[in-house]
Structure 1
Amino acid sequence: MILYISNFEEETEVRTEITPGVNLTVTPNKQFKTTRIAIALIEPLDSKVLTKRMLLANVLEAASAHFPTQKAVAEKLSKMYGAGFGITVERRGNVHIMNCVFDSVNERYLADEENLFDEAFAFLKQCLFAPLVFNDAFEQETFERQKKNLGFYMQSVKDDKQLYAALSLQKNYFTDEAQRVPSFGTYEQLEKITSKELYDYYLECIAKDQIEIVVSGNVDVKECETLARELPFSKRNSFEGQLFYTQDLQMEVNEENEHQAVVQGKLDLAYNLPIFYREKGYYAALIFNGIFGGLPLSKLFMNVREKSSLAYYANSSYDSFRGFVSVQAGIQPKNKMAVQEIITKQLEDIKNGEILQNEFQDTKKALKNSFLSRLDSPTNNLDQALINILMKRNVSVQEWLQDLDAVSLDDVVEAAQKTKLQSIYFLDGEVN
């Protein structure tokens, strides 16, 4: 059953229901000489299974019954003209996405006739539906290797102080456990997972997760549908919950200071900004964040780093699916109060409308250029397709540019005024 056909610029996007809860979206695109197939497994965010989903992604990527070693997987991809394959996880607001992505050269551009597209679907089917299993559990050696590798990564986070500080701020700011923990889970959960338990969870995911198959490239829609129907997904429910995560304002700013033997301190701040993706005020919030700290010539960069020379880096980011803005600054620990005061002043200046016309226009221009450049990225196009699916609405390039252009200075000020400081995390070099 075709759910919709929409025109995105010159391309026609077709979305088809394969079976309830399993959908195919095809965007025929002659811009790239590659074909991308993605199979996304989507479920409501749950802190109890984040670690399992990360480990499961690694185990499924590493081996299958048909390709029982990573070397065998690599050899198969090499024979398919250097195809790429990977499984990633991400959190989007209140959902968690496990994304199986296959990239290959489009067979139309090969000198020899090859059924590379059919082979790509067959490869994904083998990886997802024929995992390497013995006695109703993932093969122990592969499982233990991937578990060990994930554990090493989790423990290495503390050595990347910028990432460590960002995750610590997240833990400090959010009140919901599923938002507080990293999207890749926790080491404490990882230690307890067995190969049998992970295999049981795999069966649950394959049976219950919403499935979104997305194909882009110079492809035939009917052929895509035929191949998608050969994937033995059963019917299931689609996600119908609230996509955006919302959190009540806290009356007091929550502040945490941590002491480690570091030379460069990390000052991270979290702000509540209840403006969400494509909702009223969204484009104004994008411009606000760009002026504040999201772009190279932002107020934070110019005033904290360049003019005052008080930071190695200073920037902001805006998460429109969770309604919050974070600021990150690498500083000398002794300069903490001075830097915090300058950050506060930059935000207050924007709230008071102290924005130069060239700041406003240059930020709009930079956001437009960034948006247009991402259209040349197959990865971005896949991400955008998934967002459109979750939002149940597409936005054309023209509509996006027009909505950004329509934002006034007053709109930006209004967005800034909704931004409230909630949490401060500071990692300094003092060891008690």
Structure 2
Amino acid sequence: MSKVNEVVKTKDGYSLHIVKTDKYKTNTLVWRMKSPLKAEEVTLRGLLPHVLQSSSRKYPSTTALRSYLDELYGANFFVDLAKKGEYHVMSFSVEVANEKFLKDSEPLLKKGLQFLADVVFDPNVEKGSFHEETVAKEKRNQKVRIQSVFDDKMRYANSRLVEEMCKGEAYALHPNGTLEDVEKSTAASLFNYYQEAIQKDELDLYIIGDVDAEEAEKMCEEIFSLQNREAEKADASNANTASEVNEFIEKQDVKQGKLNIGYRTNVAYGSEDYWALQVFNGIFGGFSHSKLFINVREKASLAYYAASRLESHKGLMMVMSGIDAKNYDQAVTIIKEQLQAMKNGEFTDAEIQQTKAVIRNQILETIDTPRGLVEILYHNVVSGKKIQLDEWLGSIEQVSKEDITAVAQKVNMDTIYFLTGMEG
């Protein structure tokens, strides 16, 4: 059930990942570009996939590009940006119907791959610069995306916690960049950055669906010709370690306070105790049966929501909760008590079993969609590890109470950030 047959081939300049499966009616192609997060590049990189998505040399307007996708039996195309550990990752995804299910067998897989290559490698360029109007339009959109984080107080509080906790670390940067740098970006500076990224980024192509692997590989060799590269690695050695817990209180016109707490777990994806950390997080705050949910939200009725999540590639855990300002001290105290309870091993075998079952279901649910499957498989690219999915599920099963208590000792509270209303 959890067997995923991923074949990885090293090609000139990129890695090709083929997962042959008859689980989906479509074939999904995902092109990923990974580079270390850098303050001077983060805004340009945040803008780039959206500019590439708008038009290309072959499809010089968004209308032309979208109508070509309609010709491919309504193929889907979208871009995405993410921060994974100290890396900034751009994704270009195309989903096409599997030609096996069509009356007239159009070479849709090949056309999808060619479309991906056109968008990424043959952009809409005039006189050594991106198309001015396209860049102007996408700059406006980028500003809206950056502003939307400020308007959504839950996301804002999380973003501010990361900024304060990881000051001076690349991880503090927001994947969309800053408003002032969007302002400064030009069609020419963006095109210069694009050329650099194409030459230096670590590149991965995923093909997921009921495909003939050899045929798919041949198509890729015809369509993509790239230079070999030594992709740059992020420097993860500059992590801050706080000798005491830092506390930041920010006042804005908000009705509900946002209490966000950051912890250093000192455990990253693929390390020996990573699986124990996953189970620890599930019992502590990851799910609706967890200690935070039951003790902070249900028993003490202090929070509108209370949960924790891991940033696996950076070794962080974030607790997020919504509380009334007057409950601040009590909420912090109860959250601290829950971590102490985990360190003391105050949890039952039933909680361990329930958490393992939920983690297992969550993983299986994620790999039910092609994009979710790519997310899971891409952990190996970011971490430089080679962990199979069944190994992942098996390792979770093996985690003992001792393992969980041991990994809990490594988790230290680092920063408390509280966004509260003007009064009080």
Aligned residue number for residue 387 of structure 2: 395
What is the SS of the residue equivalent to 2:27?
strand
Q: One-letter code of the match for 1:17?
A: T
Alignment of 1:185-196 (within 5 A): 185-196=177-188
Alignment of 1:6-405 (within 5 A): 12-19=5-12, 21-239=13-231, 241=233, 247-405=239-397
Aligned residue number for residue 5 of structure 1: none
Give deviations 1:306-339, integer Å, cap 9, x for gaps.
1111111010011111011111111111111111
Partners of 1:17 and 1:397 lie apart in 2 by: 21
Q: Is 2:200–2:232's contact at 8 Å kept on the other side of the alignment?
A: no
Q: One-letter code of the match for 1:348?
A: Q
Q: Quick one: structure 1 residues 397 and 23, their matched pair in 2 at CA, closer, same or farther if it must change by over 3 Å? A: closer
Shift of 1:224: 1.7
Shift of 1:106: 0.7
Partners of 1:244 and 1:356 lie apart in 2 by: 36
Partners of 1:419 and 1:388 lie apart in 2 by: 24
Q: Is 1:137–1:196's contact at 8 Å kept on the other side of the alignment?
A: yes
Identity %: 35
Partners of 1:408 and 1:150 lie apart in 2 by: 46
Partners of 1:116 and 1:268 lie apart in 2 by: 47
Give deviations 1:260-306, integer Å, cap 9, x for gaps.
11110001100111011121111110011111111111111111111
Q: Is 2:49–2:79's contact at 8 Å kept on the other side of the alignment?
A: yes
Partners of 2:364 and 2:2 lie apart in 1 by: 13
Shift of 1:424: 0.7
Partners of 1:402 and 1:256 lie apart in 2 by: 40
Q: Is 1:35–1:104's contact at 8 Å kept on the other side of the alignment?
A: yes
Shift of 1:111: 1.6
Shift of 1:29: 1.1
What is the SS of the residue equivalent to 2:322?
strand
What is the SS of the residue equivalent to 1:258?
strand
Partners of 2:328 and 2:104 lie apart in 1 by: 63
Give deviations 1:363-396, integer Å, cap 9, x for gaps.
1111111122222121121122322234444433
Q: Quick one: structure 1 residues 281 and 16, their matched pair in 2 at CA, closer, same or farther if it must change by over 3 Å? A: same
Shift of 1:32: 1.0
Q: Quick one: structure 1 residues 162 and 32, their matched pair in 2 at CA, closer, same or farther if it must change by over 3 Å? A: same
Q: One-letter code of the match for 1:367?
A: I
Q: Quick one: structure 1 residues 245 and 34, their matched pair in 2 at CA, closer, same or farther if it must change by over 3 Å? A: farther
Q: Quick one: structure 1 residues 246 and 401, their matched pair in 2 at CA, closer, same or farther if it must change by over 3 Å? A: farther
Q: One-letter code of the match for 2:9?
A: T
Partners of 1:311 and 1:243 lie apart in 2 by: 37
Give deviations 1:99-147, integer Å, cap 9, x for gaps.
1111111111112221111111111121112211221111111110000
Aligned residue number for residue 3 of structure 1: none
Shift of 1:360: 1.6
What is the SS of the residue equivalent to 1:230?
helix
Q: Quick one: structure 1 residues 363 and 232, their matched pair in 2 at CA, closer, same or farther if it must change by over 3 Å? A: closer
Partners of 2:130 and 2:314 lie apart in 1 by: 35
Shift of 1:95: 2.2
Shift of 1:9: 6.1
Partners of 1:396 and 1:181 lie apart in 2 by: 31
Partners of 1:11 and 1:370 lie apart in 2 by: 16
What is the SS of the residue equivalent to 2:203?
strand
C-alpha RMSD of matched pairs (Å): 1.9
Shift of 1:17: 2.2
What is the SS of the residue equivalent to 1:127?
helix
Name stretches of at least 5 consecutive residues in structure 2 with no aligned partner. none
Give deviations 1:141-188, integer Å, cap 9, x for gaps.
111000001111212221100000000000010133421121221112
Q: Is 1:260–1:431's contact at 8 Å kept on the other side of the alignment?
A: no
Shift of 1:248: 4.1
Q: One-letter code of the match for 2:176?
A: F
Partners of 1:58 and 1:116 lie apart in 2 by: 24
Q: Quick one: structure 1 residues 123 and 398, their matched pair in 2 at CA, closer, same or farther if it must change by over 3 Å? A: closer
What is the SS of the residue equivalent to 2:395?
helix
Give deviations 1:232-280, integer Å, cap 9, x for gaps.
4432324363686762421121111111111100011001110111211
Partners of 1:420 and 1:280 lie apart in 2 by: 19
Q: Quick one: structure 1 residues 331 and 9, their matched pair in 2 at CA, closer, same or farther if it must change by over 3 Å? A: closer
Name stretches of at least 5 consecutive residues in structure 1 with no aligned partner. 1-7
Partners of 1:230 and 1:266 lie apart in 2 by: 52
